[in-house]
Structure 1
Amino acid sequence: MRIRIYISVIFILIQKSTSEAVSRPSPPVNVSIQCDSYGVEARWEYPDLSQDVHFFVEVRDREERKTYTTPNLSLNISTMLVPSPTKVHFVTVSAVRGGQKSDSCDSDNFSFNEDATNAEIKCYLDFPEVELSPKDGKLHIQFINPLELYRDTPALRNLDNQKDLDYTVKTEERVNNTTCGAKAKTCETSIEFSEHRGVYCVSLTGKIDWGRKLNLRSKCFTGDIRIYTSFTVYLYAVLGVVLLFLFITGIIILLVMKFTSEIKKKSITAFPKLLVFKPTQIHLCEPLKLYPETVTRDLHIEPKEQTTLIKVHSDEELNSGDEDMVSKDSNSENLYRDNGLDEDDQSNSPIGYDCPHRP
């Protein structure tokens, strides 16, 4: 009797386990993690989607775990992650149908910390978009500070006291390491090139505190970054030189005038007083003035009475020279006649000989 009872109980247990195995859903497969700058998503596959199942998701680390139920084959678990610079997470997914739960399927460990050795999946942040432009003969680089851009993402959420951003700019010629302040909205720097290329390419990488690495960002600028002096600069330079020359010339003229006046004063005091004209003697230096003389135009000259001059000789002269006198008188008479002059003419002449002979 007891044997029959035992056999019946064993049969019931076997039948119950068989029915539970038939009704229990199969587990999900290929659970994977997709992480980027703005979030983390868990994905999985299920062989029989015709069954009325939903999925039970657990986000776990060594200390905490959070759960969520979804009918989809993926779930954004960004809000379920516990921000921590050293946390390593993994995801467990199970299928549930009719109160029955399947076996779980686990993902690989993942972390935003590049230095986490026990994480098979490393999540990196994308380097922000970079703007390139010429400035002062160099290539100017500017981008949004990743500490500001990713402040609300799972990688940096609720993490205080962030250190400055360290990033590297690499070109074909050199590698520049620089920093950007934690509170700065934008980061910028300039790279100098030794020669004109036409195309200038740069590669940027960076690392945030606690091993948050930024993916490589490459970008090129096509154009000319050299400095060309504009025409206005030369014009202003020329105008400046001209104005400076005029200013110096004016000063020289004023100094010359001043020194000249001082020299004149000193030279005047150096002359003797005799050579200095008094104010009353100024008229002596004036030029002579010519005054017109009144002259009568109609001038009438009255003739004077002619006086005959007789030369008186002594007796001896008379005796000795009678003949000579006679001859001279005759000659004189002939001469007057030859000249057409007679006594009447001489008397009527306006100009007479009015000087008497000496006795």
Structure 2
Amino acid sequence: MRIQIYISVTVLILIHKSTSEALSPLSPPANVSIHCDSYGVEVRWEYPDLSQDVRFFVEVKASVNHDNRILQNSTQKRSLNISNMLFFSGNNYYFVIVKATRGNQSVLSKSAIFSFNKDVTSAKIKCHLDFPEVELSAKDGKLHVQFINPLDLYRNTPALRNLSDNLEYTVEAEKVRKSATCEMETKTCETSIEFSEHKGIYCVNLTGNIGRRELNPRRSCFMGDIRIYPSFTVYLYPVLGVVLTLLFLTGIIMLLVMKYNSEIKKKAISVRPRFLDIWPTQTHLCKPLKLEPEIVESDLQIEPDEGPKERTTLIEISSRSDEEPGSGDEDEGHGDLDIVCPYGANELDEGGYDCPHALSLEMSPGDMVKGYGR
């Protein structure tokens, strides 16, 4: 009996409790916030009751051309990723409603308006895409800027869903500002900026937007020297060119000098007298004198002159003297002599010209000259 009483009391208590909980209102979620980044949007809230039977309903309201659309989802967690519930994020603005339910529903909690569209003035929360990591390097005397195209990096995120715009970005450094465009098909965006002054550290600020979607600014610095220095070949080729040019000019000058010298020699030869030129082909024109011996009578004898009054006589002994004279001829031969040598015959033969009055034939001065000429 007592057991039945205990069971009945317990059931009554549970029924009363459940009835009272069902009738009493639930506490609404508190501090509903929106967290959006390049990869999605998440809504978060707080709730004091940690019982497992409490669920939360989340509604996302968007405005597209003034048409209200409501998307719902439920969870037992204190947060929910609503990226799949967003559409036309480039133009829309959103707000989220969260309410708790356990038999009955709590009062709803509303988030602030957020949007990826930078032109929505009513949005208190602006969702931006993160600018990708920037790589800086020195190239051709300029600072080269390179980064991954966010259109390719964030292609599958709700922020770029139904996208048809290109990336427009700006690189700014001190007094330098340059704008560029990166198309959707490009994997890597790159550009270069030039500095008027060369420093050791070069810093740039990058901003950009994809349509109405704005990217968070990115600042990056490069430490080093971006000036370009000519290579060794830049100096080598001009030096080789100058050397070759000098050699070429030297060769031309030497050829001109040789030609000028040859012309001078030709002119000198033409001016020189011809009798000084001894050509091998004209040796017959200059023959040396050849002395031919004269035939002189071997029996010619000259007797010295004894005095101015005496005549010079030559005794010509003919070849007939070699013959034996006859006895009768001796007197005939000596009959022509004008002067008789005072010496004896033997003395004349021995002394030769010692005889001052040698017997001779009388000759005229003309005959003497003729004899010498022979």
Question: Normalising TM by the smaller chain, what interval?
Answer: 0.5 to 0.7
Q: Tell me the secondary structure at the aligned position of residue 61 of structure 1.
A: strand
Q: Does 2:258 align with 1:284? A: no
Against the structure 1 CA distance between its residues 183 and 282, is the aligned structure 2 distance closer, same or farther, given a 3 Å change threshold?
Answer: same
Does the 8 Å CA contact 1:33/1:41 hold for their aligned counterparts? Answer: yes
> 2:93 & 2:310 partners in 1: Cα distance?
185
The alpha carbon displacement at 1:174 in A equals 2.9
SS in 1 for 2:240: helix
Structure 1: segments with no counterpart, 5+ residues: 1-14, 276-280, 291-303, 318-342
1:339 alignment partner in structure 2:
none
2:125 counterpart letter in structure 1: I
Aligned to 2:125: 121
Q: SS at the partner of 2:282? A: helix
Q: For residues 19 and 313 of structure 1, what CA distance do their matches in structure 2 show?
A: 202
CA contact (8 A) 2:89 2:115 kept: no
Secondary structure of the structure 1 residue equivalent to 2:129? coil
Shift of 1:45: 0.5
Q: CA deviation at 1:185?
A: 2.2
Which deviations, in whole Å up to 9, do the C-alpha atoms of 1:271-302 show, x marking residues without a partner? Answer: 9xxx9xxxxx862269x999xxxxxxxxxxxx
1:71 offset after TM fit, Å? 1.8
Q: 1:353 to 1:124 in 2, by over 3 A?
A: farther
Q: Which residue of 1 aligns with 2:134?
A: 130
| Paired residues for 1:65-214 under 5 Å | 65-97=70-102, 99-160=103-164, 162=165, 164-209=166-211, 211-214=212-215
Q: How does 1:198-237 map to 2 (within 5 A)?
A: 198-209=200-211, 211-237=212-238
**Aligned residue type for 1:172:** E
Q: Which string of whole-angstrom CA distances, capped at 9 and with x for unpartnered residues, describes residues 93-141 of structure 1?
A: 12222x4332221111111001112211110111111111111221111
What is the CA-CA distance between 1:315 and the residue it aligns to?
11
Distance 1:354 1:240, change over 3 A: farther
Counterpart position of 2:31: 30
CA contact (8 A) 2:71 2:85 kept: yes
Map of 1:264-283 to 2, 5 A cutoff?
A: 283=281
SS in 1 for 2:198: coil
CA distance in 2, matches of 1:308, 1:237: 99
Could you tell me how far apart the structure 1 residues matched to 2:184 and 2:136 are? Answer: 22
| Percentage of matched positions with identical amino acids | 55
Shift of 1:249: 5.8
Instruction: Please give the alpha-carbon distance, in whole angstroms, between the structure 1 residues aligned to 2:217 and 2:302.
Output: 152
Deviations 1:39-96 (A, max 9, x none): 1111010111135322222222143222222221111111111124321111111222
Higher share in strand: 2
More displaced stretch, 226-235 vs 114-123: 226-235
Q: 1:354 to 1:165 in 2, by over 3 A?
A: farther
Q: 1:208 to 1:249 in 2, by over 3 A?
A: farther
CA drift of 1:28 comes to 1.2
Q: What does 1:231-246 correspond to in 2, within 5 Å?
A: 231-246=232-247
Report which of the two structures shows the higher radius of gyration computed on alpha carbons.
2
**1:180 CA displacement:** 2.8
Please show how residues 334-353 of structure 1 align to structure 2 within 5 Å.
none
Aligned-partner Cα distance in 1 for 2:81–2:310: 184
Aligned partner letter, 2:141: G
TM normalised by structure 2 equals 0.63
How many residues are matched? 283
Q: CA deviation at 1:19?
A: 5.3
Shift of the 256–50 alpha-carbon distance from structure 1 to 2, 3 Å rule, reads same
Q: 1:126 to 1:28 in 2, by over 3 A?
A: same
TM-score normalised by L of structure 1: 0.65
1:330 maps to: none
Amino acid at match of 1:155: A
CA RMSD in angstroms comes to 4.4
Letter in 2 for 1:189: T
